[in-house]
A and B are shown apart, each in its own frame.
Chain A
Amino acid sequence: MRFVAIAVAAALVQPALAQDLRAPDQIAGADDAARSAALFVEMGKVLTHPRCLNCHPVTGGPTQGDDMRPHNPPMVRGEADFGPVGMNCTTCHGTENVSFATQPGSIPGHQPWSLAPVSMGWQGRSLAEICEQIKDPARNGGKDLEAIHDHNAADGLVGWGWNPGEGRAPAPGTQDIFGQLTRAWIDTGAACPG
Chain B
Amino acid sequence: MTTLTINGTERTLDVDPDTPLLWVLRDELRLTGTKFGCGVAQCGACTVMMDGAPRRSCVTPVGMIDGADITTIEGMAGPEFDAIQTAWRALDVPQCGWCQSGQVMSATMLLQQLPAPSDDQIDEAMAGNACRCATYHRIRAAIHDAARTLEG
Which residues from 53 to 104 on chain B have a C-beta closer than 8 Å to any C-beta of chain A?
53-56, 58-61, 64-65
Residues of A contacting B124 with CB < 8 Å? Answer: 74, 76, 84-87
Q: A92-B128, A107-B40 are in contact. Are A101 and B58 (CB under 8 A)?
A: yes
Contact for B53 among A73, A91, A98, CB less than 8 A: A91
A77-B39 Cα distance, complex, nearest whole Å = 24
User: Is A88 among interface residues, defined by CB-CB distance under 8 A?
Assistant: yes
Contact for B59 among A84, A85, A87, A100, CB less than 8 A: A100
Contact for B125 among A87, A92, A94, A95, CB less than 8 A: A87
Least CB distance from A126 to B in Å reads 31
Contact for B127 among A74, A88, A100, A101, CB less than 8 A: A74
A92-B20 Cα distance, complex, nearest whole Å = 13
Which residues from 89 to 118 on chain A have a C-beta closer than 8 Å to any C-beta of chain B?
90-92, 94-96, 98-103, 105, 107
Please give the number of chain A residues whose Cβ is less than 8 angstroms from any Cβ of chain B in the complex: 24
A85 touches B41 (CB 8 A): no
Q: A74-B127, A85-B114, A88-B53 are in contact. Are A94 and B60 (CB under 8 A)?
A: yes
Q: A76-B124, A87-B54, A95-B64 are in contact. Are A103 and B39 (CB under 8 A)?
A: yes
Residues of B contacting A75 with CB < 8 Å? Answer: 127-128
A42-B127 Cα distance, complex, nearest whole Å = 38
User: Is A26 among interface residues, defined by CB-CB distance under 8 A?
Assistant: no
Residues of A contacting B121 with CB < 8 Å? Answer: 84-86
Annotate B127-141 by CB proximity to A: 1 below 8 A, 0 otherwise: 110100000000000
Q: Give the residue name and chain of the A residue nearest to B108 (CB).
A: A86
Residues of A contacting B32 with CB < 8 Å? Answer: none
Which residues from 68 to 83 on chain A have a C-beta closer than 8 Å to any C-beta of chain B?
72-76
B59 touches A92 (CB 8 A): yes
A94 touches B59 (CB 8 A): yes
B54 touches A86 (CB 8 A): yes
B128 touches A87 (CB 8 A): yes
A127-B36 Cα distance, complex, nearest whole Å = 44
B114 touches A72 (CB 8 A): no
Residues of B contacting A85 with CB < 8 Å? Answer: 110, 113-114, 117, 121, 124-125
Q: What are 26 residue pairs bridging A and B, where the CB atoms are less than 8 Å apart in the complex?
A: A72-B42, A73-B128, A74-B127, A76-B124, A84-B124, A84-B127, A85-B117, A85-B121, A86-B113, A86-B126, A87-B54, A87-B106, A87-B124, A87-B125, A87-B128, A88-B53, A91-B54, A91-B128, A94-B60, A94-B61, A94-B64, A96-B64, A99-B18, A101-B23, A101-B58, A107-B40
